[in-house]
Structure 1
Amino acid sequence: MKQLFIYALLATAFLTGCSDDDKTDPTPVAPVEESVTGEVSGTWTKGGTYKVTGHIQIPEGKSLTIEEGVTVLFSDSVIKPEVVVKGNLYSLGTPAAPVKFTVPDAWKAGNQFGNLWGGLIAGPKSAEFVISNTILEFGGAVTTEESPSVKAGLYKAEAGEHVPVIYYPNVDGKLIVQNSIIRNFNEDGFYIEGGKVIISNNMFYTTGVSGGDAINIKSGVQADVAFNLVYSPNTNALKLSNSGDRTPQAYIVAYNNTIVNAGWRRPTTKGGSIWLEKVVRADLYNNLLANNRFGIKKENVENAVDSRSGISNTLYYGATQEGVTQFQPSAEILKGVNDLISAKVGDNDPKFVNYPLTTDNKNAAFDTAWDFHLQAGSPALSKGKTDFTRLYGSGLVVNGVTYTSPAPANYIGAFGTK
């Protein structure tokens, strides 16, 4: 028995030693890259921090994948780096761990409209561009003669232009932006001149100092734009245009978007919710327009809108007489089928869960406690149109993943009841 007891002790010690030897750290240390500049590709690892200290570029034919929880920290206040995407970009956050394109916290105080780094500027051969569960903030810096976008002839290709959050020009490419937040940018959100495009379930706020639209689409684009919240863009939430003479003709299906306080901060008069021009083809359904400067407005020329376009089931709410007056149908303000158009101030209260409808129209500061879901009794409930065809209901395959435009809802706006 004594010998058996000794053997048992030895065996226990041996097994314990093996267990200790086999232990691995279950929580790998997230990488920190202190100085990222020049050409980049490959994978930026989950949870890491990548401090960008100069302009960076994804070369043609290569890809950069950014995993969940990565912080891309633009850390040079003099250069104000741009991200030029000549290859493919996949920014793949999750709801719990979004990717974040940002600046040091100390730079944010008192800086409402960014201008602290450039934007994501794609080249004409950028085939695939995915932004998913990603926060982009505090960019929109002005270009100089030394800006890589200027040297490469991208975007407007000249000094003195504030770059957008995303510029995408490839008519043969694919652009997906879903479940993301765009905030604190100097001018345009997205400026898109080509591609098969899905923009859905995003939030845009605090964008545009003296001009700029949240989503600016030109010829060469065929897009589904759905279930987005756009709060107080300087001019329009959606500027839809066929300018540029690219093929295919611009065709946008925009549905179930909530647009609030658009257009009031623009110093001159143009649009102030959704703007249509240059024979664009646009199908606009189930959009909720609250306290915007104008209703759906078109360029005041013949053939501003393709005759195949359709508009219906739009809800208008105005808290001021000026606002109500300026969304009434006219030669420039388009009326759709089954629209809910307020006749007087306060009609068609959408009954947001938590948003003061008397908020100053020119306010650009966004309170993250606001909630644009609908309460019971909202006139927007059960008033949505669902019998229309979205462009990418069957999905777009990008990097082996199928991204699908969301199905239309039977309510008006981006959010139903909770």
Structure 2
Amino acid sequence: MKTVNFFKTLFFATAIVGALSLSSCNDDDDPKTDDPDIENPEDGDTDVDEEQVVIDIDGNTLISENTTWKANSIVNWAGHIVINPGVTLTIEEGVTVLADKSVGPELYIEGSLIAIGTADKPIKFTVPEADRTENNILKLAAWGGFICSSTAENFVMDHCVMEFCNATLTDEYPSIQRGEVKLDEGDPSYGFYSENPNTKVIVHNSVIAYTIDDAFRPEGGQLSFYNNVFAFIGSTGGEALNIKKGTTGDIAYNLFYNCATNGPKWSSKNAGEVQTNMNVYNNTILNGGYRRSSLGRGGSINIEESARGTIKNNLIVNCRYGFRVVDESVDMANTAYGYQYYFGNDAIMVSEFVPSNGLLTEAAATSITDNNDPMFANYDVNSFKVTWDTVDDEGTSVNVPVSTTETLKFEQWTNFDFHLKSGSPALSVGQDGISATYNHNVAGKTFSVPASKNYIGAFGTN
């Protein structure tokens, strides 16, 4: 294998600035991001960086001892990387990792990956500017993903940006050669994959966008997803979080914006000793489920075979289906749900607040289904429109989306403010006090998820 070449150079660079725009609430004890403002990554200043390090990964690279990519480095990523068991790759704030689309590199993790940026200097996993075009949104799959093996210990992304993944796998990929990932040559890779129920998977304060298929596909892990944006996930299919066997944890205070299928979906099929069990609360899910027209697919939140969970305080707006329990195999005896708030801007959306293709026949009594505008601070809930067709499904008429008014623009969600206006009917109607499953201590930092608040959605008032 080739080694990594390190060298330093002085040059003018565009400062890449991209942090989450959406703080959760104005109360001191409510969850917040570090910075309430977001800027387009292209629109930063052009100051001269001090002796910026450039790291060229021009071939397959084995990391066999603890390694740090120093702050503000540029990484030209043109080869697969394997992190050995017991070894940590640490990525510091402001590092930009640029994937070579002709290689579609994969980062295979047998040890730990710790990527901790800041609001002002996020870490970016992306593509060169020449490839980062709006025409490539939901078309370009430039790198293979983060693949955690059965020995992986920690995966941390805090204040990071992750975009344009899901490259097509070949027999040259470590994940294919080692046979752990449930994928074959010719399939699109997952943006993230894990195998071990004990792997700590922490994704906080980050933006995950423009993936052509599943962004995250954990099949085992202790998850902590907090205060993230998942936007434009899946071209004609794919979930933001497609969670499988042996996975536990928390999904709270996230924005899911225009995903092809669901935001969170989880199953416990073939789980073994660890049943999949997710806390999913105080999320905002908009315009979900319309780029996959298959019957019964698409939606907002999905719980499937043998899994359990807590599903409360989620604001579901203009989605193809509401919270869906797939069938009677779900562990309903240990599943708690309610306090969802629904809005749909046409009659078909409203009719599917309780999905016609799921186990439930009515919404929980605590859910809000009277179709009142939730009153976002700056977002018109009638701006997204769907055109429907009616097809016959074994003698039953089924509504299928055929087109929408969706547009694909970089950082589009930052044009809006998804906090709630004073007087919103989604305020003071949620359940507070739902505790997170995990507080993870990794790399000298505690990653905690706040308990639920009594508003519905990810963001309270400004």
TM-score after normalising by structure 2: 0.80
CA distance in 2, matches of 1:404, 1:33: 32
Secondary structure in 1 aligned to 2:52? coil
Secondary structure in 2 aligned to 1:167? strand
CA distance in 2, matches of 1:329, 1:108: 37
Higher relative contact order, structure no. (Cα contacts within 8 Å, ≥ 6 residues apart): 2
CA distance in 2, matches of 1:351, 1:245: 41
CA distance in 2, matches of 1:249, 1:287: 23
CA distance in 1, matches of 2:58, 2:70: 14
Aligned to 1:23: none
Aligned to 1:396: 440
CA distance in 1, matches of 2:72, 2:385: 39
2:186 pairs with one of 146, 160, 169: 160
User: Does structure 1 conserve the Cα–Cα contact (< 8 Å) formed by 2:435 and 2:452?
Assistant: no
**Shift in Å, 1:58:** 1.1
Aligned to 1:11: none
CA distance in 1, matches of 2:81, 2:175: 11
Secondary structure in 1 aligned to 2:130? helix
Alignment-mate amino acid for residue 291 of structure 2:
R
Aligned to 1:15: none
Give the alignment of 1:138-149 within 5 angstroms. Answer: 138-149=164-175
State the superposition RMSD in angstroms. Answer: 1.8
Give the alignment of 1:54-93 within 5 angstroms. Answer: 54-74=79-99, 76-93=100-117
Aligned to 2:217: 191
User: Does structure 1 conserve the Cα–Cα contact (< 8 Å) formed by 2:292 and 2:298?
Assistant: no
1:251 pairs with one of 263, 273, 277: 277
CA distance in 1, matches of 2:375, 2:336: 27
Give the alignment of 1:2-401 within 5 angstroms. Answer: 28-37=50-59, 38-40=61-63, 41-74=66-99, 76-109=100-133, 110-113=135-138, 114-269=140-295, 270-300=297-327, 302-328=328-354, 332-333=359-360, 335-342=363-370, 347-358=371-382, 359-361=384-386, 362=404, 363=406, 365=408, 367=412, 368-392=414-438, 395-401=439-445
Larger Rg: 1
CA distance in 1, matches of 2:230, 2:49: 34
CA distance in 1, matches of 2:263, 2:169: 24
> What are the superposed Cα offsets for residues 48-104 of structure 1, whole Å, 9 maximum, x if unpaired?
101111111111221100000000111x32221111111100001001100000101
Alignment-mate amino acid for residue 62 of structure 2:
E
User: Does structure 2 conserve the Cα–Cα contact (< 8 Å) formed by 1:73 and 1:103?
Assistant: yes
> What are the superposed Cα offsets for residues 328-360 of structure 1, whole Å, 9 maximum, x if unpaired?
366534622410013xxxx22111122221213
| C-alpha distance 45-36 of structure 1, shift in aligned 2 (>3 A) | farther
**Shift in Å, 1:387:** 3.2
User: Does structure 1 conserve the Cα–Cα contact (< 8 Å) formed by 2:208 and 2:230?
Assistant: yes
Alignment-mate amino acid for residue 195 of structure 2:
P
User: Does structure 1 conserve the Cα–Cα contact (< 8 Å) formed by 2:324 and 2:354?
Assistant: no
User: Does structure 2 conserve the Cα–Cα contact (< 8 Å) formed by 1:128 and 1:399?
Assistant: no
Aligned to 1:407: 451
Aligned length, in residue pairs: 385
User: Does structure 2 conserve the Cα–Cα contact (< 8 Å) formed by 1:276 and 1:305?
Assistant: no
User: Does structure 1 conserve the Cα–Cα contact (< 8 Å) formed by 2:323 and 2:355?
Assistant: no
Say which is worse superposed, 148-157 or 39-48, in terms of deviation. 148-157
Say which is worse superposed, 367-376 or 65-74, in terms of deviation. 367-376
Secondary structure in 1 aligned to 2:334? coil
User: Does structure 2 conserve the Cα–Cα contact (< 8 Å) formed by 1:88 and 1:129?
Assistant: yes
Say which is worse superposed, 308-317 or 325-334, in terms of deviation. 325-334
**Shift in Å, 1:154:** 3.0
CA distance in 2, matches of 1:80, 1:317: 40
| Runs of 4+ deviating beyond 4 Å | none
Alignment-mate amino acid for residue 231 of structure 1:
Y
User: Does structure 1 conserve the Cα–Cα contact (< 8 Å) formed by 2:338 and 2:367?
Assistant: yes
User: Does structure 1 conserve the Cα–Cα contact (< 8 Å) formed by 2:233 and 2:258?
Assistant: yes
Alignment-mate amino acid for residue 373 of structure 2:
D
**Shift in Å, 1:35:** 3.4
> What are the superposed Cα offsets for residues 162-210 of structure 1, whole Å, 9 maximum, x if unpaired?
1122112211221110000000111001101112111110000111011
User: Does structure 2 conserve the Cα–Cα contact (< 8 Å) formed by 1:32 and 1:48?
Assistant: yes
CA distance in 2, matches of 1:133, 1:337: 37
Alignment-mate amino acid for residue 135 of structure 1:
V
Alignment-mate amino acid for residue 408 of structure 1:
S
| C-alpha distance 403-169 of structure 1, shift in aligned 2 (>3 A) | same
| C-alpha distance 205-27 of structure 1, shift in aligned 2 (>3 A) | closer
User: Does structure 2 conserve the Cα–Cα contact (< 8 Å) formed by 1:206 and 1:364?
Assistant: no
| C-alpha distance 106-360 of structure 1, shift in aligned 2 (>3 A) | farther
User: Does structure 1 conserve the Cα–Cα contact (< 8 Å) formed by 2:378 and 2:418?
Assistant: yes
| C-alpha distance 158-411 of structure 1, shift in aligned 2 (>3 A) | same
CA distance in 1, matches of 2:58, 2:270: 35
> What are the superposed Cα offsets for residues 352-403 of structure 1, whole Å, 9 maximum, x if unpaired?
12222121354262512121111111111111211333212xx122233221
Aligned to 1:14: none
Alignment-mate amino acid for residue 363 of structure 2:
K
